[in-house]
Amino acid sequence: MAAFFREVLDDFLTPEFLEGVRKKYHFEQDGFMELHTAAKNMLPWMRREAFWDRKKYQMQEPLRPDACRKEANPIYECVVMTLGYGIDQLQESCNDRGGLLKSYMMEALASEILLKSYHAYEQFLRKKTGWHAARYHFPGYEEAFPLELLPDLLRAYAPRITCNSAFCMSPSKSVVFLSELTQEGRHGGSICLGCTNNHCPYRVTDVTSGKRQAQEKQDLPLTYGYSRIFGASSPILRNRN
């Protein structure tokens, strides 16, 4: 297991990153300092606890032939990334004190730091191995990669990352996926290539350039849970109408 991507964490408190998060999640201009404070509270925990890892993965059953695939026998590795338990504890503490806005800010910041980590992983892969990530496979989104794979994929990382009987991971700010590797050219796709969830608010629609066109054209909706918590009168939602 390796410490989390240093270049990603080093960028976490920069005005450019925080302003990007503020605009993307529609926090008001005068909420920038509160967003900065939330990030400043998160960073020490992530430096202590966040990590990522990659291991070779052997498919138990062959995938069905895909005429679009260049690789006749795809090579996979299992990749895990987590920000650690400390971020969950910070959010729980905020919720207990009624600081729901700060808790949501941490949710937004954690989501963005994980999104940046996919690119950091791809850079590491190209530099250290010469391979490229042609496609990501997330358990539960494809028939060949059922959600039931998750406990086996996480077995080597317990107790630092676990999942319960409902396949919910702990820490919650964790991701695990199978990276399909290739040496054919360079990776020109995105984490959304092959995903069947077309309504995901984080979906990247332009997989060749990586631009988040869907996010530029429409506001990011809150999850159902946060929508119920904050309501339409919340400062978070004030600029969404």
User: Does residue 39 sit in helix, strand or coil?
Assistant: helix
Task: Report residue 35 as tokens.
Answer: 């967003």
Give 59's pLDDT tier (boundaries 50, 70, 90): confident
Asked if residues 137 and 177 have their Cβ atoms less than 8 Å apart, the reply is yes
Asked if residues 75 and 180 have their Cβ atoms less than 8 Å apart, the reply is yes
% of the chain exceeding 70 in pLDDT? 71
Report pLDDT digits (tens) over 195-232: 666 655 555 654 444 444 434 434 444 444 444 444 44
Give 158's pLDDT tier (boundaries 50, 70, 90): very high
User: If you average pLDDT over residues 55-78, what whole number do you get?
Assistant: 68
Mean pLDDT, the chain, whole residue set: 81
* CA dist 164 → 148, 155, 159 (Å): 11, 12, 12
Using the predicted structure, report yes or no on whether residue 178 has a pLDDT greater than 70.
yes
Distance, CA of 55 to CA of 12 (rounded, Å): 27
User: Does residue 229 sit in helix, strand or coil?
Assistant: helix
Which is higher by pLDDT, 21 or 236? Answer: 21
